[in-house]
Copies of this chain bind each other. A is one copy, B any other.
């Protein structure tokens, strides 16, 4: 049996999406030309927009720029304010959080190399920032607030509406990295009150290499990719049309399956979580009411995360220790440390993330295998050794 529980990293494509994805490669004509092929392509593009706009609650006058990923969108937003700073906006300060993805942290680090300043808000034991702290962090020269919707690692959902109200009150543009939002909660960017919102199709059973950057009407914008008049001049490069069309379909399906996510999938998640907590010396993190419905973060005392992944993998179970890139960077532990866990335990964290394709059978299989895996690895573990150095 193969059980894929790393859906916060990336998801398999829905077969319905895949069909459209492959079929629409036929629409290869340039969308900007008058000939029939181009007109067909343009029409398909407009149909995709007609799904994307209501799909995230955007207004007609807003922009949705088709990008290659959340990472691209995040960089575009941060660099819009780097540009303004370089041109004398006088706004050198960015507020963000410690639980952002590298695609926010890295461009923020870059902003610093150009003389900007960044405040990283800490999160509490539920992985959430405190809006009051956020408000206190605001300065005269704050250019941007950027807070992710939810963490792929802790699953913690941030109080985005409260944050957007504060941002609005102080008249500061607010970006929300929404990579973990679509398919897990109903997204309405206008309701949320964000100025920017980024997402990637591959996080919700769409294709890789395509994402969206929502830009509220009138929000500052500077191209990351300068070029021709594609995307209304807001992003150069030929449009990845079949990707865009498939993303629209994936969004539609994600929204259609939201109920299922909050009932069936959340229940499976709960079942898994309870089974884990039956095992001695385990712990789960982040209060469910603040957590993505598909996510469990658990620690298994004495078992280093990567070794756990190994044994899970041997059993055909795929989970994660931290962010997508953690396996090379060993940063998984930061997740639990940020949730207030002791360093010794922090390295034993595992993230299980389900999807609408996860079945009860699969979860039962994992529940069946876990105790044995834990036992084997604890037998190896120093933590459980009886004799220690004197």
Q: Is A171 an interface residue (CB 8 A)?
A: no
Cα separation A87 to B9 with both chains bound (whole Å): 35
State which residues 6-33 of A face B: CB under 8 Å.
6, 9-13, 18, 21-22, 25-26, 28-30, 32-33
Known: A22-B18, A208-B243. A75 touches B10 (CB 8 A): no
Q: Which residue of B lies closest to A78 (CB)?
A: B226
- Interface pair A106/B72, CB less than 8 Å apart: no
- Residues in B whose Cβ lies below 8 Å from that of A310: 34
- Interface pair A71/B113, CB less than 8 Å apart: no
Of the stretches A125-133, A189-197, A294-302, A323-331, the one at the interface is A323-331
Known: A103-B237, A225-B75. A9 touches B25 (CB 8 A): no
Across the interface, A34 reaches (CB within 8 A) one of B35, B200, B313, namely: B313
Q: Is A99 an interface residue (CB 8 A)?
A: no
State which residues 80-111 of A face B: CB under 8 Å.
86-87, 101-103, 106-107, 109-110
Cα separation A35 to B326 with both chains bound (whole Å): 13
- Interface pair B325/A208, CB less than 8 Å apart: no
Across the interface, A325 reaches (CB within 8 A) one of B32, B110, B327, B328, namely: B32
Q: Is A236 an interface residue (CB 8 A)?
A: yes
How many copies of this chain does one complex carry? 2
Cα separation A148 to B208 with both chains bound (whole Å): 29
Q: Which residue of B lies closest to A240 (CB)?
A: B209
- Residues in B whose Cβ lies below 8 Å from that of A57: none
- Interface pair A228/B21, CB less than 8 Å apart: no
Cα separation A202 to B106 with both chains bound (whole Å): 30
- Interface pair B229/A28, CB less than 8 Å apart: no
Q: Is A70 an interface residue (CB 8 A)?
A: yes
- Interface pair B113/A236, CB less than 8 Å apart: no
Q: Is A266 an interface residue (CB 8 A)?
A: no
Q: Is A241 an interface residue (CB 8 A)?
A: yes
CB distance from A248 to the nearest CB of B (A): 15
State which residues 270-315 of A face B: CB under 8 Å.
306, 309-310, 312-313
Cα separation A388 to B38 with both chains bound (whole Å): 37
Cα separation A141 to B152 with both chains bound (whole Å): 45
CB distance from A10 to the nearest CB of B (A): 5
CB distance from A112 to the nearest CB of B (A): 12
- Residues in B whose Cβ lies below 8 Å from that of A238: 10, 69, 71, 200, 202, 208, 324
- 27 A–B contacts from the bound complex (CB under 8 Å): A12-B28, A28-B208, A33-B320, A33-B324, A34-B310, A35-B318, A38-B318, A68-B225, A69-B236, A72-B225, A74-B227, A86-B114, A101-B228, A102-B236, A103-B226, A103-B227, A103-B236, A106-B223, A107-B227, A109-B226, A200-B238, A208-B239, A208-B240, A208-B243, A209-B209, A229-B325, A230-B325
